[in-house]
């Protein structure tokens, strides 16, 4: 698990390292520049480029990002490359560090230009703006960035692609499309969210010597998971029995929709749940028994006009985890089922799909939920459209700052929110995870139902809501990545993700 920071948090890490600990700013800058120069050299070595024949342009602004760039040009020259600086902006307004770097570079006769022909260079280093970017990019800066993007050169961005907002990943008018980004110390939130992550492309996190204490001093609240976090998988004892791994009740499925609850149930089993029961309409009995004989069934007939409450209550008592929503529909009986769950459930509940739509449509259900919820019990798994229905906010508003939106909503409603998008946000209102696994093949029917099943499977094995949400989403993405053959994301279907799960569930 690694932290992600906003630009203000990163500035505080810088400040703490320099002012409180006493590491000179120039030392950090030198190490930063060295790590970028090494990345450029590695690229040339991989390409088997001979040194002097490669012309490298380092485009520098007047902030400290530009100072890094000037030092990169100087180091590359020392190594035998032909690297020159294109300096943008007024030198008199440069930071002290950048002025200092310019004077060193001049003494070593590094070429410093104010305009150039971009097509002369095989490699461009982008050191125009880093985390200090504070407004939309216009004028000459904009023209230069557009020219960089039009070249065929390989582009390496220093710290973050110039033009990407470090907190939200949005493009501030225009942004550099990098092939590689070398970022310092900690990844910035904006370079893992879309579209920022597309612009950053491959990212190297360079250790430039920020002390651990400096990072801890800002108490990061946003994280992402990595393969080593597979240790979060719940333990499985050698002398175990199915009673130890929980009982998942999935309330879902309707006449024309049996697949959703089937996928959730199968994914819950494949994640390690002890027993899974599907509560659904009688019409789904044969298909579910044929497709997933491992699942227990509790069926009901809606046309009877029966009061479902007693039947549901019996099942609620049986379950250690409840899922409500996959393929449920939003008819009257579905509303009744949700009402009963909200009223009587005492175990963790995942509110998914149509159950979210029902909450969004019925104010009395929202109020019932709010009156019953004491915290630590509910996970909501909306995609952006469902989130918008639920909160009444537009998708644009939600997307404008996905992480803080998700955190605030989770805090306000006292839930664990799994806000599904190309980068899913998981938050309990205190911290948030941004999921970085998965691929665009997952934009396919049933993918969300599989996720719900995985989260339920983890809850059944006693993961906390936040662990089940964050790790479940991560595992879901890894499983999907496993099933992509030679980059073909077109053909991925939801049941493939369950297949991938089988291969990914190892510590
Ligand atoms: N000691 C430090 O603080 C370190 C800083 N480092 C580098 O310093 C960077 C941050 O440096 P700064 O805070 O100086 O900021 P930047 O270098 O990112 O740029 C800020 C400058 O650009 C101007 N600016 C912002 N938005 C603009 C726009 N849209 N159009 C035109 N001008 C605009 C600002 O007025 C300011 O002068 C990091 O990203 C990193 O690359 C590294 O050298 C590591 C150590
Ligand atoms: K940059």
Does the annotation place 304 within a ligand binding site? no
Q: Binding residue per annotation — 130?
A: yes
Model confidence over 73-113: pLDDT tens digits? 999 999 999 999 999 999 999 999 999 999 999 999 999 99
* 307 annotated ligand-binding residue: no
Cβ of 64 less than 6 Å from ligand 1: yes
Mean pLDDT of 452-477: 98
Ligand 1, residues 132, 143, 163: which to mutate, most atoms within 8 A of Cβ?
A: 132
Q: Which pLDDT tens digit goes with each residue over 298-334?
A: 999 887 656 788 889 999 999 999 999 999 999 999 9
Per residue in 118-132, pLDDT (tens digit) is: 999 999 999 999 999
Question: 408 or 241: whose pLDDT is higher?
Answer: 408
CATH 3.40.50.10260 fits 2-220, yes or no: yes
Q: Summarize the confidence of residues 201-211 as an average pLDDT.
A: 98
**C-alpha to C-alpha distances, 189 to 266, 434, 445, nearest whole angstrom:** 34, 9, 29
Rounded-to-5 percentages of helix, strand, coil across the chain:
50, 15, 35
Q: How far is the CA of 426 from the centre of ligand 2 (A)?
A: 29
Distance CA 254, CA 262 (A): 11
Report which ligand 1 atom has the smallest distance to the Cα of 66: 17
Tell me how far CA of residue 379 lies from CA of 75, 262, 402, 469, in angstroms: 51, 20, 18, 8
Distance between CA atoms of 308 and 313, rounded to whole angstroms? 9
Residue spans of the domains in the chain: they are: 2-220, 245-504
Give the rounded percent of residues in the chain with a pLDDT score beyond 90. Answer: 91
Please name which ligand lies nearest the alpha carbon of 181.
2
Of the pLDDT bands very low, low, confident and very high (cuts 50, 70, 90), residue 364 is: very high
CB of 133 shorter than 6 A to ligand 1: yes
Return the axis-axis angle of helices 309-318 and 332-344, rounded to nearest 10°.
Answer: 40
Ligand nearest to the Cα of 124, by number: 2
User: Would you say the CB of residue 409 lies under 6 angstroms from ligand 1?
Assistant: no
Q: How far is the CA of 41 from the centre of ligand 2 (A)?
A: 18
**Is ligand 1 within 6 A of the CB of residue 507?**
no
Q: Whose CA is nearest to atom 24 of ligand 1?
A: 133
Answer whether residue 507 shows pLDDT above 90.
Answer: no
Tokens of 296: 């227990």
**SS3 category, 203:** strand
Atom of ligand 1 nearest to the CA of 14: 3
Query: Could you tell me if the CB of 15 is within 6 A of ligand 1?
Result: no
CA–CA separation, 260 vs 291, rounded Å? Answer: 12
Burial 72-82 (b: 16+ CB within 10 A, else e): bbbbbbeeebb
Alpha carbon 270 to its chain centroid, in Å, reads 24
On the question of pLDDT at 380 being above 80, the answer is yes
CA gap 347, 361 in Å, rounded: 24
Query: Cα 85 to chain center, whole Å?
Result: 35
pLDDT for position 158 = 98
Could you give phi then psi for residue 198, rounded to 5 degrees?
-70, -40
Which two tokens mark 74? 């100087």
Mean pLDDT over 477-484 rounds to 96
Q: Is the distance from CB of 166 to CB of 188 less than 8 angstroms?
A: yes
Domain spanning 245-504, CATH class: alpha beta
Number of Cβ within 10 Å of residue 179's Cβ equals 15
ipTM: 0.98
What pLDDT digit, counting tens, does each position of 35-87 carry? 999 999 999 988 877 666 679 999 999 999 999 999 999 999 999 999 999 99
């Amino acid at each position: 698990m690694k932290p992600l920071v906003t630009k203000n948090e990163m500035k505080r890490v810088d400040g703490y390292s320099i002012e409180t600990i006493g590491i000179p700013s120039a030392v950090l800058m030198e190490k930063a520049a060295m790590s970028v120069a090494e990345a450029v050299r590695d690229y040339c070595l991989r390409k088997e480029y001979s040194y002097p024949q490669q012309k490298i342009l380092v485009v520098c602004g007047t902030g400290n990002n530009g100072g890094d760039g000037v030092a990169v040009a100087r180091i590359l020259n020392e190594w035998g490359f032909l690297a020159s600086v294109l300096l943008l902006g007024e030198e008199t307004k440069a930071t002290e560090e950048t002025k200092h770097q310019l004077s060193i570079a001049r003494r070593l006769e590094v070429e410093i230009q104010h305009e150039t022909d971009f097509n002369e260079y095989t490699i461009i280093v982008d050191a125009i703006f880093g985390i200090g970017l504070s407004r939309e990019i216009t004028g000459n800066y904009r023209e230069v960035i557009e020219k960089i993007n039009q070249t065929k050169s390989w582009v390496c961005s220093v710290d973050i692609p110039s033009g990407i907002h470090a907190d939200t990943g949005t493009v501030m008018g225009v942004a550099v499309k990098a092939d590689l980004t070398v970022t310092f110390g900690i990844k910035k939130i904006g370079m893992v969210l879309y579209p920022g992550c597309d612009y950053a492309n491959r990212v190297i996190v360079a250790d430039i010597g920020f002390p651990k204490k400096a990072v801890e001093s800002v108490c990061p609240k946003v994280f992402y998971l990595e393969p080593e976090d597979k240790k979060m998988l719940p333990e499985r004892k050698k002398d175990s029995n199915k009673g130890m791994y929980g009982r998942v009740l999935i309330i879902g499925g309707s006449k024309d929709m049996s697949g959703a609850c089937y996928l959730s149930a199968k994914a819950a089993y494949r994640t390690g749940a002890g027993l899974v029961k599907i509560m659904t309409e009688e019409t789904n009995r044969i298909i579910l028994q044929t497709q997933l004989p491992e699942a227990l069934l509790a069926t009901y007939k809606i046309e009877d006009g029966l009061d479902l409450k007693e039947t549901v209550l019996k099942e609620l008592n049986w379950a250690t985890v409840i899922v409500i929503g996959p393929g449920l529909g939003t008819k009257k009986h579905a509303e009744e089922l949700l009402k009963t769950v909200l009223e009587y459930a005492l175990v963790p509940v995942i509110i998914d799909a149509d159950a979210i739509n029902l909450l969004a449509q019925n104010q009395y259900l929202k109020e019932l939920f709010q009156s019953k919820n004491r915290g630590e019990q509910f996970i909501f798994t909306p995609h952006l459209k469902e989130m918008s229905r639920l909160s009444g906010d537009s998708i644009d508003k939600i997307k404008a700052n996905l992480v803080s939106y998700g955190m605030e909503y989770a805090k306000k409603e006292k839930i664990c929110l799994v806000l599904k998008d190309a980068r899913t946000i998981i938050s309990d209102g205190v911290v948030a995870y941004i999921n970085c696994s998965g691929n665009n093949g997952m934009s396919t029917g049933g993918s969300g139902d599989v996720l719900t099943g995985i989260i339920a499977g983890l809850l059944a094995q006693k993961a906390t809501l936040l662990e089940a949400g964050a790790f479940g989403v991560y595992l879901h993405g890894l499983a999907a990545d496993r099933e992509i053959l030679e980059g073909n994301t077109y053909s991925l279907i939801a049941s493939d993700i369950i297949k991938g799960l089988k291969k990914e569930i190892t510590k």
